[in-house]
């Protein structure tokens, strides 16, 4: 089958490997400050789902700092400015316009990637994104996580799927690329539910430009961590494998995640580029599954399975 990886697509476009610089816009999240909800999504840690973003500072300073972090991997001169943490279209639009315009106009930035919620894409924000997209490509990354509204409520996502659908349509009509995030292993979800979310995004018209898939990671300090502790309180001394039958919060093994991932990738249309197949939560906060901590080993295992089973 024809799977397209973002690293290959970027290499074709720019003739070199293009790395992301994790930056901070200084925005918060309406699902944490009481506007939409309090406490946020149950899996979201205090870093707002982006533990590696730079500390708030003038963007030029953040970019230089972020470049030093990726220097070990590249001596490239062009990057993606990635505003990942929290909700990066939430707040004063003029401030955001100034920040993003300054960023996108830089010679070392080739793509502006903005992570946000679909309920934070009002008309003024859409105008700003369309303006920026006329300068250089803009990707909007939407954290759908699941297409199942019951699960969404359970993890306190704070909006129904219809809100995503409306935002998705408006973004695509405005010619803006959309990358959809899905999390596998959310509480109460079966394998069929997770694959149904993939089928749902695969069936969008037009299909998403990109997808980020990741396994649910239980991080310290989150509501999910409390749920995890309650769920497994009586099994403190048991191995993760022996916890597999717990009904509410199922912690997948690496092999199980590999099986699911391969089946999920089979469902994607060729137009949808794969940006990520595993999460990158901070090790210091990771409670489960522990095998996620060895990212290199996980990626090697998953890519081997994909190569063997999908090509
Ligand atoms: S919308 Fe994003 S930043 Fe806000 S609580 Fe949920 S995961 Fe965290």
CA distance 244 to 257: 13
pLDDT-derived band at 237 (thresholds 50, 70, 90) equals low
Residue 297 lies inside a defined structural domain of this protein? yes
CA distance 111 to 222: 32
CA distance 287 to 54: 24
| 161-169: average pLDDT | 98
State the average pLDDT for the chain.
93
**Whether the CB of 48 sits within 6 Å of ligand 1:** yes
Residue 207 lies inside a defined structural domain of this protein? yes
Spell out the residues 6+ positions from residue 129 whose beta carbon is closer than 8 angstroms to its own: 89, 114, 121, 138, 140, 171, 174, 176
Pick the range with the lowest mean pLDDT from 16-25, 44-53, 134-143, 193-202: 44-53
pLDDT-derived band at 241 (thresholds 50, 70, 90) equals low
CA distance 91 to 44: 20
Q: Residue 265 sits in a domain of what CATH number?
A: 3.80.30.30
**Whether the CB of 214 sits within 6 Å of ligand 1:** no
Do 181 and 214 form a contact (C-beta atoms < 8 A)? Answer: yes
Question: Would you call 235 helix, strand, or coil by DSSP?
Answer: helix
Domain enclosing residue 225, as ranges: 6-310
Residue 127 lies inside a defined structural domain of this protein? yes
Q: What is the pLDDT of residue 262?
A: 98
**Whether the CB of 41 sits within 6 Å of ligand 1:** yes
Q: What is the pLDDT of residue 50?
A: 62
Residue 43 lies inside a defined structural domain of this protein? yes
| 158-177: average pLDDT | 98
Q: How far is the CA of 29 from the centre of ligand 1 (A)?
A: 6
Report the nearest-CA residue for atom 4 of ligand 1. Answer: 29
Residue 154 lies inside a defined structural domain of this protein? yes
Domain count, the chain: 1
Residue 1 lies inside a defined structural domain of this protein? no
**Whether the CB of 32 sits within 6 Å of ligand 1:** yes
Q: Which of 34, 38, 42, 44 to mutate to test the pocket of ligand 1 (most atoms within 8 A of CB)?
A: 44
pLDDT-derived band at 144 (thresholds 50, 70, 90) equals very high
Report the nearest-CA residue for atom 2 of ligand 1. Answer: 86
Do 119 and 159 form a contact (C-beta atoms < 8 A)? Answer: yes
Do 62 and 103 form a contact (C-beta atoms < 8 A)? Answer: no
Q: What is the pLDDT of residue 233?
A: 72
| Cβ neighbours of 304 (radius 10 Å) | 11
């Amino acid at each position: 089958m024809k799977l397209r990886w973002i690293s290959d697509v970027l290499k074709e476009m720019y003739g070199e490997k293009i790395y992301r610089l994790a930056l901070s816009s200084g925005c918060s999240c309406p699902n944490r400050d009481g506007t939409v909800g309090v406490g946020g999504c149950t899996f979201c840690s205090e870093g707002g789902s982006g533990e590696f973003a730079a500390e708030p500072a003038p963007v030029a300073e953040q970019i230089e700092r972020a470049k030093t972090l990726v220097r070990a991997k590249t001596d490239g001169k062009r990057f993606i400015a990635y505003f990942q943490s929290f909700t990066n279209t939430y707040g004063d639009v003029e401030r955001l316009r100034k920040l993003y315009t300054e960023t996108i106009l830089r010679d070392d930035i080739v793509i502006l990637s903005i992570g946000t919620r679909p309920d934070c894409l009002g008309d003024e924000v859409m105008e700003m994104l369309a303006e920026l997209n006329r300068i250089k490509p803009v990707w909007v990354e939407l954290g759908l996580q699941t297409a199942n509204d019951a699960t969404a409520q359970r993890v306190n996502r704070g909006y129904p799927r219809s809100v995503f659908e409306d935002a998705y349509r408006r973004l695509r009509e405005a010619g803006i690329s959309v990358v959809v995030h899905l999390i596998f292993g959310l509480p109460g979800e079966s394998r069929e539910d997770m694959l149904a979310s993939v089928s749902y995004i695969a069936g969008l018209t037009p299909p998403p430009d990109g997808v980020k898939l990741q396994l649910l990671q239980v991080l310290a300090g989150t509501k999910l961590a409390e749920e995890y502790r309650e769920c497994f309180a009586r099994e403190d001394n048991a191995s993760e494998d022996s916890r597999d039958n717990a009904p509410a919060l199922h912690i997948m093994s690496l092999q199980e995640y590999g099986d699911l991932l391969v089946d999920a990738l089979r469902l994607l249309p060729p137009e949808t580029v794969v940006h990520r197949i595993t999460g990158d939560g901070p090790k210091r906060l990771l409670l489960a599954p522990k095998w996620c901590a060895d990212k290199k080993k996980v990626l090697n295992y998953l890519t081997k399975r994909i190569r063997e089973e999908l090509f």
